[in-house]
Amino acid sequence: MLKVNGIYKAYGTQEVLKSACLEIGSEIKVLIGINGCGKSTLLKIIAGIIKSDKGNVLLREKNITHLAPEERRVGYVPQHPALFGHKSVIDNIRYGMRNGLGSEELLEDLLSMLGLNDILNKKPGELSGGYKSRVSLARALAPEPEMILLDEPLSDIDAAVKETLLPEFRRVTKLMNVPVLYVTHDPAEAEQIGDTFSVMQGGRVNDIDSANHAFEIIKKDKLISV
């Protein structure tokens, strides 16, 4: 459903992505790699936030490489929830539904599944990190995207809260039945949420059989200290 073919991206003389390729069906694929290896760059290229130098992105066999972000039907949840501080929770979520996207039925389901009904009139500044992450996910899913990108969405959450949120994130994203690309540095988090796994090394993406395998590869190459 998603095919990323030969993506190349450089900033000056620094090559970040070197012919990166990726294919995802209706599954949650976890992408693992060290800081600065290009994971977030790849996600932003898929979302249309930045442009690649070479390569293309196909979603449901449609070439979306040169489309504007709002035309791609890609839901993107950044590492730090980028909510509008002056808007209420419900207004933040409905912002994603502008231009007639999504449905009231899906919105009601998301609010219920993510436990947001009691905080709809609160502002982001009144919320805990866990609830901000839930609101950010709901805003990304409400327009009924054809692809979901999650860039370490729970990195600001403590371990105890993360244990509660991970099953919810998995259950809600699975409901959408679309490709999900999830970035994390946490092997336990990766195993809990992922169906399939990939590791990014040297600007390229390689599929592997488990999250632990990915982390073993990284340690073997002495790219991180353990």
The CATH number of whichever domain residue 193 belongs to comes to 3.40.50.300
220 in the same domain as 199 = yes
pLDDT tens string 180-224: 999 988 878 888 999 999 999 889 999 988 888 877 777 776 444
Which parts of 31-183 fold into alpha helices (H)? 39-47, 89-95, 104-113, 129-141, 159-176
**Which residues form the domain of 62?**
1-73+146-166+178-226
Q: What is the pTM of this model?
A: 0.90
Query: Per-residue confidence at 225, pLDDT binned at 50, 70, 90?
Result: very low
Q: Please, what is the average pLDDT of the chain?
A: 90
| C-alpha 99: how far from chain center | 22
Using CA atoms, how far apart are residues 22 and 47, in angstroms rounded to an integer?
A: 14
Residue 110 maps to a domain: yes
150 in the same domain as 62 = yes
Q: How many domains does the chain have?
A: 2
Antiparallel, parallel or unpaired: β 196-201 and 204-208? antiparallel
Using CA atoms, how far apart are residues 92 and 182, in angstroms rounded to an integer?
A: 22
117 in the same domain as 63 = no
